[in-house]
């Protein structure tokens, strides 16, 4: 074999090795990046509530009045439920046990730190936090004193605590710390409840973070997805695309409200020599509060 042929073979081998090295070895890793941005929000004054946008997951809220309550306090509590029902979309219904709201009663007087008698106690006892909502799953009311008013102001006060409302500094507002018969439910409270419970109880899958690194033709990818809605999601699939071509699919079971999961893939083989963007899409056969946050697009930095 002549020296020219030998040289040609060596050059050919060198070119083949260089191409393989370029395609498969991470000499120049390419980073992709994504900044999370939620597209759904409830806009209103949130200072009335303990935390922003507190509500039960649906407008059907159950309650259980326990045996510790006499007929008078039971009647006041049921009237309070009825009053809020007439002002808002919420529907309260009674269960013999395991209600969303537990109502207990005490007969002994209690004194607060300020020396005043405590009329009742109440509030949410189980809340799942999220960026869009703080979802109440359990509330508790303890009625201590009877209202002695035309309306059951004490029961109303504690029920509104369970629904997420803090104390007011307006002496005429029913959420003022000291109960008086002239106090009324402010329009701002009613408007807030109408606003919150007009939102359909749906799940909302949202990508919270995502990034990818391309090493030759091998892709490393990780992302975090969370259910920021009001109810649990159904099963869903996450599909990964490189310049529009599907390169990976991931099936997941339902996500509970406020729960998320982080997923990491390494060495996903990409057939294209070069790519400009990675798209990650969560898909499921169920309605959501916002479908626009079900996908992210990662582009080269």
Show the tokens assigned to 65: 């009045």
Q: What pLDDT, on a 0 to 100 scale, did the predictor assign at position 144?
A: 85
C-alpha 296: how far from chain center: 19
CB 123 within 8 A of CB 102: no
Report the length, in residues, of the chain. Answer: 301
Look at residue 17 in the predicted model and tell me its pLDDT: 61
pLDDT, position 174: 94
The pLDDT of residue 56: 98
Residue with tokens 């009613």, as numbered in its chain = 190
Q: CA 205 to CA 42: how far, in whole Å? A: 17
d(CA 121, CA 139): 11
Kindly report the pTM of this predicted structure. Answer: 0.81
For the chain, list the domains and their CATH numbers: 23-40+202-300 (2.60.40.10), 54-197 (3.40.390.10)
- Residue by residue, pLDDT tens for the chain (301 residues) are 566 565 555 566 666 566 555 555 555 566 666 544 433 233 334 479 999 999 999 999 999 999 999 999 999 999 999 999 999 999 999 999 999 999 999 866 554 444 444 557 899 999 999 999 999 999 999 998 777 889 999 999 999 999 999 999 999 999 999 888 999 999 999 999 999 999 999 999 999 999 999 888 889 999 999 999 999 999 999 999 999 999 999 999 999 999 999 999 999 988 887 888 999 999 999 999 999 999 999 987 6
How much is the pLDDT for 159?
A: 97
Nearest to 10 by CA among 18, 185, 20: 18
Closest CA to 42 of 32, 34, 52: 52
Listed in sequence order, the DSSP H helices in the chain are 3-24, 71-87, 153-162, 187-197
Whole-angstrom Cα distance, residue 28 to residue 7? 29
CA distance 127 to 223: 26
Query: Going by C-beta distance under 8 Å and a sequence separation of 6 or more, which residues neighbour residue 122?
Result: 139, 140, 141, 142, 157, 158, 159, 161, 162
Contact 165, 189 (CB under 8 A): yes
């Amino acid at each position: 074999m002549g020296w020219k042929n030998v040289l040609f073979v060596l050059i050919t081998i060198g070119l083949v090795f260089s191409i393989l090295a370029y395609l498969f070895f991470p000499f120049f890793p390419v980073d992709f990046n994504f900044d999370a941005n939620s597209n759904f929000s409830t806009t209103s004054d949130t200072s009335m509530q303990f935390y922003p946008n507190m509500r039960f997951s649906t407008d059907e809220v159950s309650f259980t009045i326990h045996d510790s309550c006499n007929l008078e306090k039971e009647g006041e509590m049921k009237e309070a439920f009825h009053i809020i029902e007439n002002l808002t979309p919420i529907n309260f219904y009674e269960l013999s046990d395991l209600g969303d709201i537990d109502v207990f009663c005490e007969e002994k007087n209690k004194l607060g730190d300020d020396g005043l008698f405590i009329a009742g106690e109440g509030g949410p006892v189980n809340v799942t936090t999220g960026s869009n909502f703080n979802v109440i799953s359990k509330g508790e009311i303890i009625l201590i004193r009877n209202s002695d008013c035309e309306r059951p102001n004490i029961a109303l006060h504690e029920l509104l605590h369970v629904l997420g409302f803090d104390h007011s500094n307006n002496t005429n507002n029913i959420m003022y710390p000291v109960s008086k018969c002239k106090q009324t439910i402010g329009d701002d409270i009613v408007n807030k409840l109408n606003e919150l419970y007009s939102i359909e109880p749906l799940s909302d899958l949202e990508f919270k973070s995502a990034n990818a690194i391309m090493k030759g033709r091998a892709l490393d990818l990780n992302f975090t997805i969370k259910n920021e809605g009001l109810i649990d999601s159904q099963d869903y699939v996450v599909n990964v695309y490189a310049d529009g071509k599907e390169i990976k699919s991931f099936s997941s079971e339902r996500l509970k409200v406020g729960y998320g999961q982080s997923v990491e893939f390494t060495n996903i083989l990409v057939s294209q020599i070069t790519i400009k963007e990675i798209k990650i899409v969560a898909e499921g056969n169920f309605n959501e509060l916002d479908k626009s946050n079900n996908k992210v697009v990662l582009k080269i930095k």
